[in-house]
Each structure stands twice: as C-alpha cells, then as structure tokens.
Amino acid sequence: MVDSNQKPLNDTTPADLDPLAVLGYKQELKRNRSLFTLLFQSLAIAALPFGEGGPLLSAIYGGGQLAIFLGWIVLLILASSVAVSLAEIASRYPTSAGPYYWSYQLAPPPNRTVLSFINGWVWLIGNWTITLSVNFGLASLITATAAIYHPDFAAEPWQLLLIFYAILLLSFVVCTFGNRFLPMVDTICAAWTAISIFIICIALSVRAAAGRHSASYTLGHYDKSLSGWGGFTFFIGLLPAAYTFSAIGMISAMAEEVHDPTIKVPQAIALSVPVLWFFGLFFVTPICATLPPLADITTAPGLQALPYIFHTVMGTPGGGLGLMFLVLAITAFCSISITVAASRTTWAFARDDAIPLARLWSRVNPRLGVPVWALLLVTVVQMLLGLINLGSTSAFTAFVSVGVQALQVSYGIPIALSLFSKRVQVSQARWKLPAGVGTVANAVALCWIAFEVVLFSMPTTLPVDRTTMNYASVVLMGFMAFAAVWYVVYARKAYKGPPASDGL
C-alpha cells in the first residue's frame, strides 16, 4: 500500500504492506475508500448549507453581514492552520484512534498514558456532541420548514425530540446495513451539495423579494444592537463559520478504511478547507446581499434563521420550501457521514480499553464489517443528551458549542505536543509542511483553538436567563467528571494507552 519511493527515511519492511501493523493494530475494517471519497465524506460532514445555515441566527445577533462575510474570510486562514497541522500528524500516525493516539506517541513517556486518556475522552465527547448537533439541527430545521406553510406552528419540545429520535434511528439503520454503499453516498452528497449551492445562489440573487443591498451594505453592514455584547458582538457572529469547519479532523477516523493512508488522509484533511471555503462564498454572499431586516430574523420560528430567510427572500412558501428541501437533503447525508465517523472513533477508543464495556463496543460484526455496538452507543448517547431540550430552548446552541469546544481541544493537544517537541516526529511524515511554515501554522492553530474554547462558552445574547444560558461547559464538564471517575475506578490500572509506535 505504501509507495517506498515516497518514503525515503525507511527501507521497505513488512509494514509497507500492512501499515497498520506498525501502529500496533490488526486490520479489521475494509479499505474501500479513496482520496476522493475521503474528501467527499469530509465535505459531507461539514454540510456547508447546514453548517453555516443551522446556527446562522448567531451571526444575525453577531452583527449581520459583516460577521457572516468577513467571518467566512477570516476562517479560511484559521481553519487552514488547524487542518494542515492535523494533516501532518495524521500522515505520521494514520489510525482511526486519531488525536488520542497522536497524543500518546508525541507526549513525554511519564505522562503519555494519562494525557492520551484525557484527550481520548475529549475527542470522544467532541465526536458524540458534534454528531448530536447535526441530528438535532436537522430536526429543528424540519419543524422550522413546516412553519413556512403554517406560520403559527411551533413544535413542542417533545415533538422535536420525537423527530430527533426518528432521525437517529434512520441513520443507525443506514450506517449499519449500508456500509458498502456509503462511499457512493458521500460522492452523491458532494455533488448534491455543489449543485444545491449554485441553485440557492442563483435563486436568491434573481428573486430577492425582500430587496437587494448595495455592495458596501452586503459586505460591511454591522449592527451591534441585537446581542447585548457591544464591541464583542462580531466574535459572537463567528459561530456559524467556526462550526462549519470544526469537524475537519473527524475524517482521520476513516484512516483504516483507505489505501495509502499516510498520503490520502492528510490530503483529504488539508484539501477540505479550501474546497469548502470556495463553495461557501457562493452560499454566504447572496444571503448577505438579500437578507431581510435583522430584527425580523431574530423572531424566526424554531430559532432557525435559514427557513425564514429563504421564505422571505423567495417571496412564496413554495420557493422557500424548494430551497429548504435541498438543505434538508444535505443535512440528512451529513447525518449518515458524521455518524459513521463518530462510530469509528468510539470503536477505536474501546479497542484500547478506555471506556466502560470496552469489549462490547470494540466488536466488529464479521458479516457487515461494521462496529455495530459502537454505532448503537453513539445513538443511545445522543438520545439521552437530547433530553436536555425538554428544559432549555438553547439546547441546539449548547450541542454546537460543546462539540466545537471538545473537538478543538482534542486537536490542540497533539498540535501543542508536536510544536513543543520541535516538530521532530512530523518532520519524518510523508506529508508535511516546510519547517518554518509548519511552525507558524501550529502557532496560529493553537491561538485560534484557545480563543474558540472561550468563545463557544458564551451565550449568544445578553442578559442571560435559565432558558437562554449556554450549557456547553456544563455538558463538557459532566462528561469529563464521568471520565475521571472511570479512570479512578478502573482505567488507571487497566488502561495502558494505545500501542507505542515510531509512526510511518
């Protein structure tokens, strides 16, 4: 699988035929994916119209057009620095274990086991909650879309929960029994997303029933009066763009299902950001140019801005529904792709005996070639967390926030370890940046990650009450408290960390 001509630092070994053996694992999953299907899955996970459109209300409170458009420009640089930093490490250690495995290999020996356990749980929490945010967001979009034809309709929390559960069960069935078709599904999703974005771009630009703004207004309008945050308002508006790019590292969980992973996995991670950003310009620009009054958008049904914007800009319920159908289909594809990635992460962490009932969750069904029990665990955890919606109207914001926080922290730990060890390990990777460029990218990535963790702890608006509070930190700390108890009770004696390896 490995091209020895591109691997000058080592002579050909048996590991060149089985790279996973060098990393300490045996091959259990089928390698049925290519660079393009990995890239397509990465784009499916990002689900641009949903990633930007689902939490778009935060950008409305964050000032409107300036936060949306300039935020998208800024995130190209920031997300690219994270992506290329992860890509180098993924090239050196291409395994489904991902960031916690990387942390173990890069950390000083005295601390590596505890550090990998901590990062493994943060990585696991990030995968679970970012997947939850997609599925819960899809349920929210469905109810908000229904309000296009029935303006007085407002889904009760229990109704939203039942729709959410139905989405989870459907995704579980598809991911369990349709595994061999999933690369094709990701390809279809990528094509559907590209076509949908251009349809949305043309439709909004041509119809513009709420009016067209001037170029200066489209790119620079900034209203600080809605959020209560004053001069900090712009940063609140970065949430949709940051959320869209937050899951770029999740594709590393598919490393054991692609040939030549030392090249194809980092390429997929690194390419996903510019490709996603390019198509995003054709999505955010017409929205900025045709936005209805910002104050009106804040009253959108179900706290979902996108259906309201589409309905208003298109001028008819049918026009709004037509565009929302495209977005809902993209989000459904995303639900499948991101659930697959989260299940592989869960399976890999269980394989190293780091979670309760690890032997059960680490089983791979020999007939289906799928870690069915890990898929079931991902589904059940989401069902339980979805109950938060019964007591808080800001549940979606909390799910988005904790998912982004946890993923970014799990990325930051191995990036920091690599940088502080003078990038010795990544300098031997087959896919790597020039030394100076890599150091700068690592430093920018760490600064952005630190800021994101703080930013996504904040509520969207001030003042705050019980129902509008951002409970992301509470959910994250609750998970970490559970992990700490599990470590004290069992894992500190049983968990030895992933297998030690010098990488590929």
Question: How big, in percent rounded to 5, are the helix, strand and coil portions of the chain?
Answer: 75, 0, 25
pLDDT value of position 389: 83
Per-residue pLDDT tens for 182-206? 989 989 999 999 999 999 999 999 9
pLDDT value of position 285: 97
| Rounded Cα distance, 457 and 472, in Å | 6
| Rounded Cα distance, 358 and 354, in Å | 7
pLDDT value of position 6: 44
Q: Are 77 and 248 in contact (CB under 8 A)?
A: no
Q: Flag the least confident range among 97-101, 200-204, 283-287, 396-400.
A: 396-400
Angle between helices 112-149 and 372-385 (to 10 degrees): 60
Tokens encoding 75: 């995130």
| pLDDT of 17 strictly over 70 | no
- What is the mean pLDDT of the segment spanning 63-79? 96
Per-residue pLDDT tens for 350-398? 999 999 999 999 999 999 999 999 999 999 999 998 998 887 666 777 7
pLDDT value of position 7: 42
Query: Which residue has better confidence, 266 or 460?
Result: 266
C-beta pairs of 15-18 under 8 Å, 24+ apart in sequence = 15/504
pLDDT value of position 502: 83
pLDDT value of position 470: 82
Q: Are 232 and 84 in contact (CB under 8 A)?
A: no
Cis previous bond, 292, omega within 30: no
pLDDT value of position 433: 95
pTM: 0.91
Report the Cα–Cα distance between both ends of the chain, in Å, rounded: 12
| Rounded Cα distance, 318 and 148, in Å | 9
pLDDT value of position 108: 93
Tokens encoding 271: 């390419």
**Residue with the two structure tokens 């790019």:** 245
- In sequence order, what are the residues at sequence separation of 6 or more whose Cβ sits closer than 8 angstroms to the Cβ of residue 502? 22
Per-residue pLDDT tens for 22-50? 999 999 988 889 999 999 999 999 999 99
Phi, psi torsion values for 136, nearest 5 degrees: -70, -35
Q: In terms of Cα–Cα distance, which of 111, 97, 137, 133 is closest to 410?
A: 97
| Rounded Cα distance, 448 and 399, in Å | 20
| pLDDT of 14 strictly over 50 | no
Q: Are 443 and 470 in contact (CB under 8 A)?
A: no
| Rounded Cα distance, 395 and 387, in Å | 9
Per-residue pLDDT tens for 122-171? 999 999 999 999 999 999 999 999 999 998 888 899 999 999 999 999 99
